[in-house]
Every structure is written in C-alpha cells, then in structure tokens.
Amino acid sequence: MLKRHARTACTALAAAGLLLAGTGGATADSAPAAPSAATTLRTADAPPELLAAMQRDLGLTPTQAKARLAHEAEAGATAARLRDRLGAAFAGAWVDGADAATLTVATTRAADTAAIRATGATARLVPRALADLDSAKAALDRAATAGTPVRYVDPRSNTLVVEEAEPGAAARLLAATGTDAALVTVVRTAETPRPLHDLRGGDAYYMNGSGRCSVGFPVTKGTVNGFATAGHCGRAGTTTSGFNQVAQGSFQASVFPGNDMAWVAANTQWTSTPYVKGSGGANVQVTGSVLQPVGASVCRSGSTTGWHCGTIQQHNTSVTYPEGTISGVTRTTVCAEPGDSGGSYISGSQAQGVTSGGSGNCSSGGTTFFQPLNPILSAYGLTLKVTGSDPGPGPGPGPGEPEPGGTWKAGTVYAAGATVTHGGASYRCLQGHQAQPGWEPPNVPALWQRL
C-alpha cells in the first residue's frame, strides 16, 4: 500500500463506461436527442494534464488520447447494455487499440453473436460464462495463501488466472478446493504484492504524526467534510495531519484485510473540493464515479510518485498480502511506490478507486490494485464531491403523464442491475455509479435503461 499525504484535492482514477447513444440533432417536432455516454461523462473536458500523462505513459498522440476517452465511455455503456441483454450467457467485455476503438463482448451462446455485432462490437463465442468463473475464483480465494498471491478472471482468455509465487502452489490450491484445472491458467510470478508504506515527507497526509498515505477522493457526510482512502492506512480513531502538518481529522471507519477501505472526517479547517492533484499540482476535475471497462485507460495520483497512467487489466481481483486477503479490487498497469497508498485513480473525470498496493515501481514498471470507490461511498454513506455536471433539465412530462418522482434518489450508490422508478417509469441501472442531480434516469441512457 502506498502511504503518503495529499491535499484535499487528491486524486482518483475515474472510470466511466457508457453506451453508444446517438447524438444526432432534433427536429422541431421531435424531443431532443438523449446525451451520448461521452457527453454525459464530459470526456471532451479532459484537462491537459490528464491528456499529457496518457500520451506519456500509454504512448498516444494527442488525438488518440482524446478519442480514447470518448471511445471508452461509449464502449462501457454498450457493454453494460449487452451484459443486461445476455444475462447468464455474458462472459465479459474489453476494449483494444491505441484509441480503444474496438469493443469485444464474449458470450457462451452462439445465438447472441448477431445482437453483439449489431451494436458495432466484436462478438467472441467462449465456453465459460463470467459468473461461473467468478464462482470458481471465490472458492480459490477462501483457501489462497501467499504462494498464490493474485487470482482474477481474464475475459480475453476465458480462464481463471492464478499467479504462482512458489512452484506447485497453484496445483496445491486447485487440489484443496477441487477446482477443475481446465478452468485455470497458471502464471509464474516473482512479484510479491504488498501494502506500500513510507515515512518520507511529501504531498500527503500523516497518521498519528508518523506514517504517510495519500488522500483518495474528497467526500462529504451531511455537513462534515472528509476523504475516502485505503483501510490499511489507519484504524478508526487514528488521527491525521495534512500535507502541511496541520491537524486535519481522524479515521471514522476502516476495513482491512477483506477490503481496503476507510474514510477520514476532517475538522473545520479543511474543505472538500471536487479535484484530484494532477501533473504539476494542477487540479483535475471529478464529475462522477462510473467504473470503466477492462482495457480502459486510468490515471493515478499519489504523494510519492505523482501522476501516472496505465490501463485497467481486471476487475474483481483478489490479492493476498502478508496481512491477509482482499477481494473485489481492480488490477492495473499503473505504477506506484510506498506513500502512494490511498491515492486516487481516475478515468477521464470519473473517480475509479483508491490505491491499495502492488509490486514494482515507477522506474522499472509494476502492477497496482485499487479498491473501487463506489463500495466505499455506499458502505459509509458518503457523497463524492463533484464539479457541476448537470446536463440541464430533461424533457418535461407530457399531457396526462405524472410529474417526476419515484424511488430514484440523488446521492444513492446504484450497482449494475438495480431497479428504480422515476416519473412513473421503471429503469434498470447499467453501470454502477453514485447518483447526482442532473443524472436522473431519463437524462442519462448511458447509465439507465427504461424497462
């Protein structure tokens, strides 16, 4: 885990995957076209610092960096709609190409391939559903040791990958759990993921006047300001001071291992802002918390190594640290070092999660894992601090239609598959996110599907 302090504007890798929605103009007699995923997630407003880091770390041209953010938003939404349509046959989705222009969606049912191709995506027919591989991984997680430090489902190979640090460790794990070896790809690794601690100074927050971590995402809870961060950075009651060593607040809740989540309530001297610290200290805006798909770009801000970018490799990964196993984290190619723990991962302007741990460094490269942000917001009743992203009022009710209302509520964290009512209609959530004013279901078809 990478500990160090970061100011209230600390970072997170934002993610957003939205559906391919039309953006054509409206005639005088038609309703305005629904906003596209890229419009909803404001990919065109990406700050120069984020684009520059993507160019540096991903080897992109300026045009490719801008196009990639838009393509990732649309691909995420398309994949979410197909996941809902394919149901139990869904076997994962990912993006490829320098500008992420190629979306591939896998299914176990041949009859689905035409529907997948009709969206512009590439169809892949595979033998195993994502849910079946996830179930097998859960059994491995319960018995895993440091000899098999990382387990994840790889949708590209349609297998369950087990990283083996000791010869024979994977075979012993499969035998102990009765797991079919045909489901598993074993990868030898010399890396040992660990929490990344550091006591050196830097742009960070300090725990009990000593250890250092990085601020994740500024949040509020009622009238209280604070921030989300990694659970391994402190326990409930641990006091914190800011980057300037001024008294800051204290941990209110923390979970580690199992998950790696916590939040700190700040005193009245500190105010939450909707920013992550980017390259050169510039503010990078946060406008939401929509999680990006596998293959999407993501950037990290931390108090040791600053601003770096990479791609999302797998979601729902399990990692066994010396302190125990954490599950549900996302694996990335972004580098990090001690003191970066707790810091922000952001994709475009969408918050992704907080730095948990990893291996390697930012000189030779490495692998990192982040705890997704939405479960933290949901677990502790927090509201992510975002900049104004209201796309404007949606179409008003027609003659005889009810006024908007229902079970949808701003501030609620919705998981994919959740259902709500609004304006007399029912909707299903396509992509997990925290609802905010302006993101009412009729306004954001990239996030909600009318039933």
Structure-token pair, residue 35 = 């906003």
Distance between terminal CA atoms of the chain? 42
What angle do the packed helices 48-58 and 62-86 form, to 10 degrees? 90
Beta carbons within 8 Å of 250's beta carbon, 6+ residues apart: 237, 238, 239, 240, 264, 265
* Beta strands 184-188; 217-221: pairing state: unpaired
- Residue owning tokens 């390697």: 360
User: Of the listed 232, 308, 315, 433, which one is catalytic?
Assistant: 232
Q: Catalytic residue at 232?
A: yes
Q: Are 277 and 7 in contact (CB under 8 A)?
A: yes
Helix runs in 360-448, H state only? 373-380
- Integer Cα distance of 385 and 403 in angstroms: 28
* Nearest CA-CA partner of 323 in 390, 385, 231, 413: 231
Q: Catalytic residue at 301?
A: no
Residue 61's SS3 state is coil
- Integer Cα distance of 329 and 371 in angstroms: 5
- What number of other Cβ atoms are within 10 A of residue 347's Cβ? 32
Q: Catalytic residue at 260?
A: yes
- Integer Cα distance of 196 and 186 in angstroms: 26
In 12-109 the beta strands, taken as DSSP E runs, fall at 90-96, 102-107
- For every residue of 65-87, DSSP letters joined together read HHHHHHHHHHHHHHHHHHHHHHG
Amino acid identity of residue 170, one-letter, is: A
User: Of the listed 154, 203, 260, 340, which one is catalytic?
Assistant: 260
- Which of the residues are catalytic? 232, 260, 341
